[in-house]
Amino acid sequence: MTEPADPPSILFVCLGNICRSPLAEGIFLHLANERGLHGFVVDSAGTGGWHAGEGPDKRAAAVAKKRGVHLPSIARQVEHADFARFTHIIAMDASNSENLLAMGAPADRLRLMRGYDPSHSAQSAPDVPDPYYGGDDGFEQVFDMLMAACQGLLDELTAARQDR
Of 3, 23, 1, 21, whose CA–CA distance to 12 is shortest?
Answer: 21
- State the catalytic residue, choosing from 19, 20, 117, 150: 20
Would you call 20 a catalytic residue per the annotation?
yes
Per residue in 81-95, pLDDT tens? Answer: 999 999 999 999 999
For range 24-42, the mean pLDDT:
96
CA–CA separation, 5 and 87 (whole Å): 7
The domain limits of the chain are 9-162
CATH number at 9-162:
3.40.50.2300
Catalytic residue among 57, 117, 127, 130: 130
Segment 59-85 mean pLDDT: 97
Give the Cα separation of 136 and 59 in Å (integer). 6
CB of 127 closer than 8 Å to CB of 93: yes
Say what the pLDDT of residue 2 is: 42
- Contact present, 87 and 122 (Cβ < 8 Å): no
- What pTM was estimated for this model as a whole? 0.93
Average the pLDDT over 46-74 and give the result.
97
Cα–Cα distance between 35 and 28 in angstroms, integer?
A: 11
Say whether 150 is catalytic: no
pLDDT at 31 over 80: yes
